[in-house]
Amino acid sequence: MRPPSIVMFERLFLASMVLSVLAFIVGYDTLTEQLANEPGLSELGLGAGFLTGIVAVSVAIYLLLWFLIARKASSVAKWILIVLLALSLFSLPAIFAGELDLIAILNIAVYALELAAVVHLFRADAVAWFRGEWDTDPTTFD
């Protein structure tokens, strides 16, 4: 049995992923329009398929990190997730600088859920679990 902090991490992190995909779907037309207006990318032939591919690869990487953290207790994956989250926070000021529409609100919610999820990785029960010191309480199933 996994510690409560890891279970909460999993719920918050997967919720952030669902919101992230939803934000992509809602903003798909806007993103493809912006991509089409970039002359360098148009010349390379990078269009909507490229954008969808990037999102699919990103989701796959984050799902792999979720699996390694929440199911395999990988400390390396935990720190990779933290670094990726820290790097992605650099785009947060741009979200607040732009129009506060549905896509921006969804993206802010994604960041909030990811931050809340990562905080749970540093709670005492999660730290013990990553160290391999977490034991299931035998009275749990009584």
How many domains does one find in the chain?
1
pLDDT at 142: 43
pLDDT one-digit tens code per residue, 9-19: 999 999 999 99
pLDDT one-digit tens code per residue, 25-53: 999 988 888 777 777 766 676 677 888 89
**Within-domain flag for 35:** no
pLDDT mean over 56-80: 96
**Within-domain flag for 39:** no
pLDDT mean over 113-119: 97
Where in the sequence is the domain holding 114, given as residue range(s)?
4-27+57-134
**Within-domain flag for 122:** yes
Quick one: CA dihedral 20, 108, 61, 117, positive or negative? Answer: negative
**Within-domain flag for 32:** no
Residue 98 φ/ψ, nearest 5 degrees: -85, -170
User: HSE of 6 in the Cβ direction (CA atoms, 13 Å)?
Assistant: 22
Residues 30, 43: Cα–Cα separation, whole Å: 19
pLDDT at 94: 85
